Amino acid sequence: MLIQWYPGHMAKARRMLVENLKLIDVVVEIVDARAPIATRNPDFDDLFTGKKRIALLNKSDLADPAATKAFIRAFKEQGVKAMEFVATNSAKKAAAVELLQGAVQEEVDRLLQKGVRKTVRVMVVGIPNVGKSTFINRIAGVNRAQVGDKPGVTKGKQWVKVGPYLELMDTPGLLWPKLEDELLARHLAFIGSIKDDIMDVEQLAALLLQELMALCPDALTARYKKLEAGMEPHALLEGVCQSRGFLLSGGLPDTERGARIALDEFRAGKIARITLDKPGYERQDGDGK
C-alpha cells in the first residue's frame, strides 16, 4: 500500500537520536490519541531500553474521551507513565511539567543533597505530525520549535530551555522500517501521519468512510446526509459528493474533491471525536529487527 515509507533522512535522524541518548534523562513519546497504537513507534522499545519513558496522548481534543482513558489505563498497566494532552491549549501544561520532572525526581533529590541542582533533559520523540513541536512550544511558552500541518517540518535537532533546570530536545519524526500491519497503516494515513501525495486519496477516503460508518454511523450520516449503512466504500465516497453537491459537468461525482473534504473534515475533528485504534490490539509489524 505504501511507498517511500522509510526515507533515508529517517535513518539519519535515528542515528542522531542514538548519539544524543547519553545526554537524556527522560524520553517523552508523543502519540496521537486518535490512534495511540498506530502512532507508537515499535522501534523505540529497543532504541530507548533503560531510559525513563513517558507516553503523552496528544490531540485528545479530537479523540473519544472514554477511549483515551482506556488507553491511559492500558499504558499504565504496561508500566509506562501516561497522560492525555492537548498541545494547542495550556490546560494540562503544569501537570505535564510535573510528570516530566517527577520522572527523575529521585536523581534530582540525590544530587540536591550534594548541593547540585540537576538540569533535567527530556527528549521529545514520536512519528511525524503528532504534535512534538507544538508540545515543546506549549511547555516552553514561546514559539521556538517549528510547527507545521504537514509531516516532516522538524529537520534537525533542537534544544529548548524551559526555565533554568529543564531542557527539551525536539526531534524529527521517526518511523520504523517495515509497516506491515494494514489496519495500523490505514489509521496512520487517515489521521495524516503519512504524506497524502504517496497514496491514492480516493481509495483512502473510501476506506475511512467505511471505518467511520462502523464506528460512528450517526455522526457520519448527520454530516453527510446521503450516506447509509451498508454502502460499499466507493459508494460512500460518491455519497459525500452527492451530499455536498460536488458534481462534475455531466453530473458525475467529483470524487477527488469529495475525498479531500472527507479526509480534511475527519482530521479537523468535524465529524466526531473518534478513536480509531482499540486498546489491546496486537500489532502485526515492527519488531524493530
Ligand X SMILES: Nc1nc2c(ncn2[C@@H]2O[C@H](COP(=O)(O)OP(=O)(O)O)[C@@H](O)[C@H]2O)c(=O)[nH]1
Question: Which helix or strand (DSSP H or E) is residue 31 part of?
Answer: strand 26-32
> Which of 54, 62, 72, 122 is in the footprint of ligand X by CB under 6 A?
62
> Which of 31, 47, 56, 87 is in the footprint of ligand X by CB under 6 A?
87
Sheet architecture: strand order including 26-32: 81-84, 52-58, 26-32, 120-125, 166-170, 158-161
When CB distances are held under 5 to 8 angstroms depending on the partner's kind, the choice from Mg ion, ligand X, none that residue 134 binds is: ligand X
Name the burial class of residue 59, with classes exposed (0-12), middle (13-18) and buried (19+) by CB atoms within 10 angstroms of its CB: buried
Rounded Cα distance between 166 and 151, Å, is 27
Do 258 and 246 form a contact (C-beta atoms < 8 A)?
yes
Q: Which stretch binds ligand X (CB under 6 A): 81-89, 197-205, 219-227, 236-244?
A: 81-89
Q: By CB under 6 A, what part of segment 215-274 binds ligand X?
A: none
Task: Write the interaction track for Mg ion spanning residues 107-146; mark x where CB under 5 A is met and - where it is not.
Answer: -------------------------xx-------------
Per rule CB under 6 A, count of chain residues that contact ligand X:
21
In the bound complex, which residue of the shown chain has the CB atom lying closest to Mg ion?
154
State whether residue 268 is helix, strand or coil: coil
Do 31 and 83 form a contact (C-beta atoms < 8 A)?
no
Alpha-carbon distances of 124 from 23, 149, 171, rounded to whole Å: 13, 18, 6
Q: Which stretch binds ligand X (CB under 6 A): 58-66, 71-79, 107-115, 222-230?
A: 58-66
Interaxial angle between packed helices 201-215 and 255-267, expressed in degrees from 0 to 180 and rounded to the nearest 10: 50
Of 133 and 255, CB closest to Mg ion? 133
> Which of 75, 125, 160, 173 is in the footprint of ligand X by CB under 6 A?
173
171 binds Mg ion, rule: CB under 5 A: no
Quote the DSSP letter at residue 118.
P
> Which of 129, 210, 255, 275 is in the footprint of ligand X by CB under 6 A?
129
What does the block give as the cell for 127? 512519528
When CB distances are held under 5 to 8 angstroms depending on the partner's kind, the choice from ligand X, Mg ion, none that residue 141 binds is: none
> Which of 36, 131, 239, 258 is in the footprint of ligand X by CB under 6 A?
131
Strand partners, 54: 28, 81
149 binds ligand X, rule: CB under 6 A: yes
Shortest Å, Cβ 61 to ligand X: 5
Q: Which residues sit at the interface with Mg ion, rule CB under 5 A?
A: 132-133, 153-154
Q: Which residues sit at the interface with ligand X, rule CB under 6 A?
A: 58-59, 61-62, 86-88, 126, 128-134, 147-149, 153-154, 173
